Amino acid sequence: MFSLQNQHAVVTGAGSGIGKSVALLFAQQGANVLVVDINEKQAADTVSEIKAAGGTASAHVVDVSSQQKVIEAFQKIERIDILVNSAGISHIGKADTTSAEDFDRLFNVNVKGLYNCLYAAIPLMKKNKAGVILNMSSIAAVVGIPDRFAYSMTKGAVAAMTLSVAKDYLADNIRCNCISPARVHTAFVDGFLAKNYPGKEAEMFEKLSKTQPIGRMAKPDEIAHLILYLCSPEASFITGCDYPIDGGFVKLNN
């Protein structure tokens, strides 16, 4: 089950965090993984791990906020069966404390970056008469999260774009879904705590973990396994859906 043999999978943001876990898992399941990341070293490290485990992968250094760079990279790839849009950045701030520069930066990566990848990948999928797209939304798209104004805006856009793409390409045999994680323990979380709560990292980590009713943050591998299912042949009847993976955050936090 969940075999990705003979599938060419593009995973953006695959140099770290959830994207890296997805790339490693996809390779384990037989996919040829095209590791896309803005960080050359991190992309190369992911590829090295995949190859060391016997998988197939290649690194592609791309700034997803640049449409021209994305088009150039995807044209070289030529065939895309699966696209996982995992690249993204976060931001701390309210409407009146978020600068125009930060707002634009979040939009350019999280919204326009996802659009750029869709724009470049969908024609290749249409040519093959099949494809699967998985976008990374967030529970921030559907619930109020303190100090996440710009980030929440971008994830709401991701959810809306997912529905549009799913509807528009039904006849092309292209499926499109998104997932909405709650807090996931990645290097970003550790960096955020070190920067904003020096000396109180452990205390704040515990506090953030307890905001999930299940009592902890998710692990990147747990997110990757849901993505694997949605991109696999076993999920062939699923399109236009958003899957929360949140430890009960949305429905049980009352």
Residues 45, 49: Cα–Cα separation, whole Å = 6
Sign for the pseudo-dihedral over CA of 130, 28, 19, 185: positive
241 to 47, 137, 144, 152, 176: CA distances (angstroms): 30, 11, 21, 18, 8
Catalytic residue among 115, 151, 229, 243: 151
- State the DSSP H helix or E strand holding residue 131, giving kind and residue range, or none if neither: strand 131-136
Helices (H), the chain: 17-28, 40-52, 67-77, 100-106, 113-128, 149-168, 187-196, 201-209, 220-231, 249-252
Q: What is the mean pLDDT of residues 216-239?
A: 98
What domains sit in the chain, N to C, each tagged with a CATH number?
A: 8-182+220-245 (3.40.50.720), 184-217 (no CATH)
**Percent of the chain topping pLDDT 70:** 100
CA-wise closest residue to 22 among 193, 208, 188, 227: 227
pLDDT 10s digits, 152-204? 999 999 999 999 999 999 999 999 999 999 999 998 889 888 988 899 999 99
Is 151 catalytic? The answer is yes
Is the confidence at residue 254, as pLDDT, over 70?
no
Residues 36, 76: Cα–Cα separation, whole Å = 13
Is the confidence at residue 14, as pLDDT, over 70?
yes
Question: Could you tell me how far CA 68 lies from the centroid of its own chain?
Answer: 21
pLDDT 10s digits, 56-78? 999 999 999 999 999 999 999 98
Is the confidence at residue 80, as pLDDT, over 70?
yes
Q: What is the average pLDDT value for the chain, to the nearest integer?
A: 96
